[in-house]
Structure 1
Amino acid sequence: MLLSYHARSAALSERNRRRIQREGVTMSGSIVWTEAEIQTLHQFPSNLQVHERLPHRTIKAIEHQRRKQSLSRKIHWWTAAEISKLRRMYPRCSKEEICATFPHATWNSIKHAALRHSFRREKPPYKPTGHPAIDQIRAKCYAIGWSLVDLDLEAKTRGYFAHGCLRSKGPNYKAIHRALNVLQGRISIEWVEER
């Protein structure tokens, strides 16, 4: 290509830039961003807050201008060391401890990173029901890694343990007996001595 062709294109581009600055409208008809509008972008972190103050700008236009101004949120790439630390902490540590260790990430992004790497949180123990026999059966299921649905399937108790065992009038001793047979347990009776 000839050098004159490039010189002509550069001159045309410069003329167009001057025309856009003079008229305040781009070649496609969009309004040029003013300094006041760019200051609004710097003042408010949320695109919706900016859109409330600048209703003539679309959300997409605001996002695009944020990227041009380098104001958009930076994407964090998890390093191998962070993944290793997350693997150790995620199953047992509290949500607050994990968020404090990874200040660059929200709890949702931490959960997504853990899910991506197949990390699971330890299941909390079952809540006590107030009935000692049922509480001990539930504690045994937790210790061997069974869910209450597994117990119902093995003991053929039709969802008694999984769906709230004490919602009826009282404990179902037949279901408790079946669960004890499956878990290989025994019932012992303790007599209270009268004084």
Structure 2
Amino acid sequence: MARERIAKTGMAPGGHPVWTDREMALLAVIFPDYKRAVAVLQRRTYSAVKCRARSMGLTDCRHSWTGAEVSRIRRLFPTADKKTLTAAFPGIPLHKVYAKAGHIGVHRKRRQFKPTGIPSIDQIRGRAFQLNVSMVDLDAMAKTNCYFQKGNWHTGNIKYKAIGRATEALDGLLAVRWKDQV
């Protein structure tokens, strides 16, 4: 009875016009430009267009996180690699897992700095990691501008003054070893 009335009048019980095949085809072509879709589909509101796009499968559905999934994020996220996270949350895009982890305040575990091949710089960077000091903070403490942030030492640009200042800032001592006494 109700379906016959809707088909006859072209209006839903709430008084809104029923979506026609032509309107849905236009929305599929115009998507994802919602503002343009509202302009073309004059009898549709912005919310109606977004809702119809979601029901047509044009957009990703919003995922409702369960307590078990949140617990799994808290357990795995700090140390797991991307492959493990993808396997642990099948059907959920990785960017949504990262967004949820940020929302609940779970962060990735800090990774050790990559070795440079220059022992003194590697020791300074290792000590900074132990003390939880970033390269930005190290440059500020040692007053070395951006020397440790930018890492120009791979070009052979080793600044011994910066190494000395960083060693002093991290409460270290510099020692000289002679090749014939090693």
What's the TM-score once normalised by structure 1's chain length? 0.64
Counterpart of 1:51 in structure 2: which amino acid?
V
Task: Give ranges in structure 2 of 5+ residues lacking alignment.
Answer: 11-15, 31-39
Residues 87 and 119 in structure 1, CA contact (< 8 A), matched pair in contact too: yes
Inter-CA distance 73–153: structure 2 relative to 1 (3 Å threshold): closer
Count matched residues: 165
Cα distance in 1 for residues equivalent to 2:81 and 2:143: 36
**Partner in structure 1 of residue 115 of structure 2:** 128
**Partner in structure 1 of residue 139 of structure 2:** 152
Residues 76 and 104 in structure 1, CA contact (< 8 A), matched pair in contact too: no
**Partner in structure 2 of residue 32 of structure 1:** 20
Cα distance in 2 for residues equivalent to 1:146 and 1:133: 17
* Percent of pairs with identical residues: 32
Task: Give ranges in structure 1 of 5+ residues lacking alignment.
Answer: 1-9, 21-27, 41-46
1:34-73 to 2 correspondence within 5 Å? Answer: 51=29, 64=52, 67=55
1:78 corresponds to which of 65, 68, 71: 65
Cα distance in 2 for residues equivalent to 1:143 and 1:183: 10
Cα distance in 1 for residues equivalent to 2:68 and 2:19: 47
Inter-CA distance 72–126: structure 2 relative to 1 (3 Å threshold): closer
Q: Does residue 1:183 correspond to 2:161, yes or no? A: no
Greater gyration radius: 1
**Partner in structure 2 of residue 17 of structure 1:** 7
Counterpart of 2:117 in structure 1: which amino acid?
G
Cα distance in 1 for residues equivalent to 2:145 and 2:6: 78
Cα distance in 2 for residues equivalent to 1:109 and 1:129: 34
Residues 54 and 61 in structure 2, CA contact (< 8 A), matched pair in contact too: no
Inter-CA distance 183–97: structure 2 relative to 1 (3 Å threshold): same
Inter-CA distance 18–165: structure 2 relative to 1 (3 Å threshold): closer
Residues 113 and 129 in structure 2, CA contact (< 8 A), matched pair in contact too: yes
**Partner in structure 2 of residue 115 of structure 1:** 102
Deviation at 1:74, TM superposition (A): 4.4
Residues 126 and 142 in structure 1, CA contact (< 8 A), matched pair in contact too: yes
Inter-CA distance 175–31: structure 2 relative to 1 (3 Å threshold): closer
Counterpart of 2:20 in structure 1: which amino acid?
V
Moved more, 159-168 or 133-142: 159-168
Residues 77 and 107 in structure 2, CA contact (< 8 A), matched pair in contact too: yes
Residues 63 and 72 in structure 1, CA contact (< 8 A), matched pair in contact too: no
Inter-CA distance 83–66: structure 2 relative to 1 (3 Å threshold): closer
Instruction: Tell me the C-alpha RMSD between the 2 structures.
Output: 4.1
**Partner in structure 2 of residue 5 of structure 1:** none
Residues 138 and 166 in structure 2, CA contact (< 8 A), matched pair in contact too: yes
Deviation at 1:137, TM superposition (A): 0.4
